[in-house]
Amino acid sequence: MLRIYYQDEIKNKIEIHNSRFHKISSVLRMNEGEKIELFDGNGLSFITEIVSICKDKVILEKKTKSNKSINNLPEIHLALSIIKPSRFENAVEKTTEIGINKIIPLITEHTNKILVNRFNSSRLDRLKNISISAAEQCGTSFVAQINEPILLNDLIDQYNDPDTLKIMFYEDSKITDLNKEKIHNYKKILLIIGPEGGFNSDEYIKLKVSNCNIQSLGKNILRAETAAICAVNNINYFLHITQ
């Protein structure tokens, strides 16, 4: 069944325009009477039925009561250093598919400043659309929030609370003893992935002083987007096997 993200209130009658209309009418060539699932990105979804296909819109009618996906697990936030656009986009797509609540583009000392300067509103909108498309495809009713870029110092200040478990995945770390049972005690889990050049010594010390757990993803040196995908997958696995 086709799934469509719909951010407005899902009423009894819904009109679909623009690219979603084109996909329904011209790409998939759907007909009246066919079913479409709408979801709001926050866990709420409905089954709707096509009642009319017009020149510039498709009209849907709500057919089922709301289905609310409840997530009692800690929120997962990913702070990923800004890297080349295509690779950052890959990280957004794959981590959305795995399951994540928020993605934060991170600026560190070794982050490429040219890429930071190019990170504008258009880039942010594109990342949001990638997250939406990934959610539509993979079956989740949750869409990851994409934040504005942030400096490392500001990130540490924003997540300076006892309800957040901070984890930095560091290539020189040999530690892999994350307590899988205790992570459920937190409301949020912040995963921090540095740039290709890694964190410098001052940044490493700041993170340690802020009670950030230092963890390893294995002996191989991973690209930043690969590390992000592995980190989100590992945490999701730990959360689900210890439910």
pLDDT value of position 157: 95
The angle formed by the CA atoms of residues 190, 195 and 199, to the nearest 5 degrees, is 80
Q: What is the pTM of this model?
A: 0.89
The angle formed by the CA atoms of residues 94, 38 and 126, to the nearest 5 degrees, is 40
- Residue 226: name the closest of 176, 164, 169, 183 by CA: 169
Q: Which structure tokens are listed for 27?
A: 């790409």
pLDDT value of position 73: 83
Residues of the chain below pLDDT 50: none
CATH of range 75-241; options 3.30.1490.20, 3.30.70.20, 3.40.1280.10, 3.90.550.10: 3.40.1280.10
Q: pLDDT tens, 174-221?
A: 555 566 657 888 999 999 999 988 889 899 899 989 999 888 887 888
Tell me the domain boundaries of the chain. Answer: 2-68, 75-241
pLDDT value of position 181: 57
Dist CA 131 CA 243 (whole Å): 26
Task: Look at the domain 2-68 and name its fold.
Answer: Ribosomal Protein L25; Chain P (2.40.240)
